[in-house]
Amino acid sequence: MSKAAFLDWAWHYRKLLLLQGLLLGLLELLYFIPTGLGWWVVAIGVVVVLMSGWIGNLQFNKSLGLFLAELLWIVLGGIGFLSFSLLWLWQAQVIIGMIILLSAAVTYWHQNHIDYRKWSLTAINWLVPVDLLALFIVTVSLFFTVQFYNLGVFWLMSGVALQFILAMYLLFWRQGSSLKKFWLYALVLAIVGEQLTWLMHAWHKGAYFKAFLLLIVYYLYADFVAHYLKGNLTVKVIVEYIGIALFLVAILFLFDFLFLLIPNL
């Protein structure tokens, strides 16, 4: 890339670069000066809201609302993970870097959607794993937060259900799936997620283990529904996804047995 092309790219995405720079600085300050966590959360939330509005050209519509919701979901969930995990310095830097990368990916593709009024196939393919990773991080953060503040399981169940609905809505919206019966499917997913969370709350397994199991449930359900609505949910597809789920669960239990996943709750 020539210098002129790079400068054009940097100018076009100046809002994205400024947002990521501000987030990086605030997250680093949060880690090194953790007192007054509530004020840090407010400050970061204000920055995200203001910058999202600027990136969205102050066009208050569905696209901007979902962009803001997804960005806040990732950033605030990442703050919980960063604040309530017992991390060494290098581990904290890895987590901060992950938050920045996830938020940058979401901002980049949403800005392209705002500019060109459509989702590219590349954006859809990239944002699916981004949201899955965000779902895992935020779920772990919820477990940590509930434990730290000694909150009731109701708050944990509600948090899991809400983010399941948000992640599924984003998936349907980007893929252009029918939203007529979305809330019916989302309600079923939310209830299943809440019940599993309630059952696992007192389980001796760690937060990472529980979050990964919830992630598998979301992944299977959301993809099953997406394939069903597109009319291509065949027996072969079902068998493939069940095989993937069983493989992931087996790997998870194996790693847990080998003490590579350290219990945190």
* Spatial contact of 250 and 244, defined as CB atoms under 8 Å apart: no
Quote the pLDDT of residue 102: 94
When the pLDDT of each residue in the chain is averaged and rounded to a whole number, the result is 86
Q: Cβ neighbours of residue 147 under 8 Å, at least 6 residues apart?
A: 84, 265
What percent of the chain has pLDDT above 70?
Answer: 94
The pLDDT confidence band at residue 256, using thresholds 50, 70 and 90, is low
Nearest Cα residue to 132 out of 66, 216, 246, 244 = 216
Q: Tens digit of pLDDT for each residue in 49-67? A: 999 999 888 888 888 899 9
Whether residue 41 is predicted with pLDDT greater than 80 in this model: the reply is: yes
**101 versus 208: which is more confidently predicted?**
101
Q: Please tell me the least confidently modeled range out of 127-131, 152-156, 248-252.
A: 248-252
Residues 6+ away with beta carbon under 8 Å from 53: 60, 64, 68
The answer on pLDDT for 259 being more than 60 is no
> Does residue 133 or residue 204 have the better pLDDT?
133
